[in-house]
Amino acid sequence: MTPFRFGVQLSNASSGPAWRELARTIEGLGYSSLFIPDHFEDQFGPLVALTVAAEATTDLKVGSLVFGNDYRHPIVLAKEIATLDLLSEGRVEFGLGAGWMTTDYEQSGIVNDPPGVRISRMAESLAVMKSLWSTGAATLAGEHYTITGAIGAPLPFSRPHPPIIIGGGGRRVLGIAAREADIVGVNPSLAAGYVGPEVLETTTAEYYDQRIAWIREAAGDRFDALELQCLTFLVQIVPDREDAVERLASMMGVTPEQVDGSPIALVGTIEQIAERLVERRERFGFSYIVVHEAEMEAFAPVVAALAGT
């Protein structure tokens, strides 16, 4: 089994000193990584925020879950990521996605192409960036990008490139992740472009079973080398798991079994949650668990119990 490690996703802080202190707190609690989203809503700009977080800490990995491919040209993003990875001496985990949130496109005026087009563009972009990082050059005559003798300088500290994270819920994007990424995240379906009630239907254990099967099929011989990541959304450290699960199920209009079995939910005592994570690693392969800022301190005993095991 791949050893457990844990990350925290957060969006901003009240000030520069507060952001630095958050990063140091995350590192001090034993988490492996700090992640920030990439949207045009109320959040810090990820590249600057990640740079500051890396500078404020010693070993903490930094990254975005995930950079929206449509928001930056691959040559520009490759240079920024390589620079951050070089100056932090290999502490970048590079998350890339095709873009999904409708409001990002509405606010920016960026064309919101159909999902298939966005995914194809992401795949081309990733090929350009991997070439720049690994060989120092890139040329591509693609459907979406025309790159001619681009120079990849500086080269990243990590060789051949920083660990790449790609996540999703659809078969095609998970197939790309299985073949091209180092870390694969399995997410609920966000095809609607927003988080609505229908997302709950794609958080069941059976939904995740199917996605893991797709990843395994697409990855082939490289499956065992992949690190499987799960971003959680319902984390409650409580003395009575059954009561908390029943209340959550009632609020969401689903069954308690759906809540208790969903990989995005972790409810119970420290010991119960640790046991559940071990069970889910055996079933799904999830060893890289990401929680949010609101629960990072309460969840820290779970990190202490499982990290590295």
Q: What are the pLDDT digits (tens) for 134-193?
A: 999 999 999 999 999 999 999 999 999 999 999 999 999 999 999 999 999 999 888 778
Q: Is there a contact between 212 and 223 (Cβ–Cβ < 8 Å)?
A: no
**pLDDT for residue 205 is more than 90:** yes
Q: Among the listed ranges 85-89, 129-133, 208-212, 245-249, which one has the minimum average pLDDT value?
A: 245-249
Distances (CA, A) of 150 to 80, 135, 136: 15, 11, 8
Residue 196 in this model has a pLDDT that exceeds 80: no
Asked whether residue 147 is assigned to any structural domain, the reply reads: yes
pLDDT over 80 (residue 212): yes
Place of tokens 């001619």: 148
Is residue 132 a part of any domain in this protein? yes
What's the per-residue H, E or C state across 138-167?
A: EEEECCCCEEEEEECCCCCCCCCCCCEEEE
How many domains does the structure of the chain reveal? 1
Q: Which residue has the tokens 């970048």?
A: 92
CB 4 within 8 A of CB 308: yes
Domain span including residue 75: 5-233+286-306
3-state SS of the chain: helix, strand, coil percent to 5? 50, 20, 30
Quote the longest CA-to-CA distance of the chain: 61
Q: Which of 106, 92, 5, 111 is nearest to 46 (CA)?
A: 92
Whether 249 is covered by a domain: the verdict is no
Structure tokens at 229: 């990541």
pLDDT value at residue 57: 98
- The angle, 0 to 180 degrees and rounded to 10, between the axes of the packed helices 46-56 and 74-87 is 10
Q: Give 233-265 pLDDT, tens digit per residue.
A: 999 999 999 999 999 989 888 899 999 999 999
CA 69/CA 118 separation, integer angstroms: 8
Q: How far apart are CA 111 and CA 271, in angstroms?
A: 47
- Residue type at 11? S
**Is 199 inside a domain boundary?**
yes
Is residue 171 situated within a structural domain?
A: yes
Residue 209 lies in a domain: yes
Name the band, by pLDDT with cuts 50, 70 and 90, for residue 284.
very high
Task: For residue 254, tell me if it sits in a domain.
Answer: no
Q: What is the mean pLDDT of the chain?
A: 96
Cβ atoms < 10 Å from Cβ of 73 = 14
State if pTM tops 0.85: yes
**Closest C-alpha to 129, from 178, 50, 73, 173:** 73
Q: Is 278 a member of any domain?
A: no
CATH of the domain at 139: 3.20.20.30
